[in-house]
Amino acid sequence: MGYDSPGGGADLPPMDDEPIGSRLHFNMEAIIPIVLIVIIGFLLLARLGVIDSSTPVIGPVVSAISPNSTARILIIGAPSPEILAVMNANKDLVGNPIIRAAEAFTNNPENQLAQFDIVLLDQTGQISKAIPRQLGDALQSYVKTGGKLIIIKDSGIEQPGALDVLGWKANFGNIVPVNCDIILDGQPTCKRPIGVIGVIWQQDYKHPIMLGIERVPAQAEAGYLALEVFDVGVTGNEIAYIEDARTGKNFPAIVEQAQLGGGKVLYFNYNPGITSGIFQNTIKYLK
């Protein structure tokens, strides 16, 4: 009653006498690592703000943000009317942004920021350019773990009640791609707005933000832009610059700094609401 060898073409009989418990043990050993990978992936995506951890998940997490999905945007401060107009005209990109004052982020700001894909710090419409220390620390952590931050003009250069804090480094460390210099007469460059009549030129022609945009206005016949800028120093990648038609002097327009954790910080040295094409490209790039 011996079995035929495999070489003889006979089928091996089923192992009916194998204990069920051993087969179940084998299957569980194969499944457990897969379950752990799914759980770890979910927790990581929730930490980065890609998914809402309060929402039940059925099945494995397959992907992050779809290219066609709307970005979850938080605006801190008081944005310009032009920024709000661009957002209202592009609901398919930005959905319904949330606007909050910087003072609202003194209690557990890390969890509040984690709910958003993009944070826009725009204090253009208010006198104070101060942010709480807790918010500055939280924004550093947010960016270093994959968050996307946009800073406009002189937003975030001060701290409430701190006379010794001026500029971005004290609030944000090294994540901001520009710096505030002290010039000869003792006035910091980030506290001295400069009126410019000029043109925004493409600097990094490969960057998606300037895709198809060589200059603004696109046609010379349209004249010049009237902008308020700051003579800040550049420490990151300069994407575009502003040329003053009267003096010939150049100022940085858009500067980027990428982080090792996948986060990005973009600095706009002018009100990006007046260049709707660039602002739309920026949202597409960051989301």
Q: How confident is the model at residue 55 (pLDDT cuts 50, 70, 90)?
A: very low
| Over residues 118-141, mean pLDDT | 97
Q: How confident is the model at residue 260 (pLDDT cuts 50, 70, 90)?
A: confident
Amino acid at 193: P
Cα–Cα distance for residue pair 158/280, rounded to 1 Å:
29
Question: What's the pLDDT score for residue 64?
Answer: 39
Between 31 and 263, name the one with better pLDDT: 263
Q: How confident is the model at residue 237 (pLDDT cuts 50, 70, 90)?
A: very high
Cα–Cα distance for residue pair 70/284, rounded to 1 Å:
9
| Over residues 82-86, mean pLDDT | 97
DSSP string, 43-57: HHHHHTTSS-TTS--
Cα–Cα distance for residue pair 200/207, rounded to 1 Å:
15
Residue 77, classed as helix, strand or coil, is strand
Strand partners, 252: 241
Q: How confident is the model at residue 15 (pLDDT cuts 50, 70, 90)?
A: very low
Cα–Cα distance for residue pair 81/274, rounded to 1 Å:
10
Question: What's the pLDDT score for residue 11?
Answer: 43
Question: What's the pLDDT score for residue 115?
Answer: 96
pLDDT, tens digit (0-9, with 9 covering 90-100), for 20-29: 444 444 455 5
The model carries a pTM of: 0.77
Q: How confident is the model at residue 63 (pLDDT cuts 50, 70, 90)?
A: very low
Among 4-8, 104-108, 210-214, which stretch is predicted with the lowest mean pLDDT? 4-8
pLDDT, tens digit (0-9, with 9 covering 90-100), for 161-215: 999 999 999 999 999 999 998 776 778 999 999 999 999 999 999 999 999 999 9
| Under 8 Å between Cβ of 138 and 100 | no
Between 174 and 4, name the one with better pLDDT: 174
Residue 156, classed as helix, strand or coil, is coil
| Over residues 91-110, mean pLDDT | 96
For residue 58, pLDDT over 80 is answered with: no
CA 31 vs CA 41, 59, 60, 63, 156: distances in Å: 16, 14, 13, 21, 49
- CA nearest neighbour of 231 among 185, 162, 275: 185
| Over residues 90-110, mean pLDDT | 96
Question: What's the pLDDT score for residue 182?
Answer: 77
pLDDT mean across residues, the chain: 84
Question: What's the pLDDT score for residue 49?
Answer: 45
Among 8-12, 44-48, 111-115, which stretch is predicted with the lowest mean pLDDT? 8-12
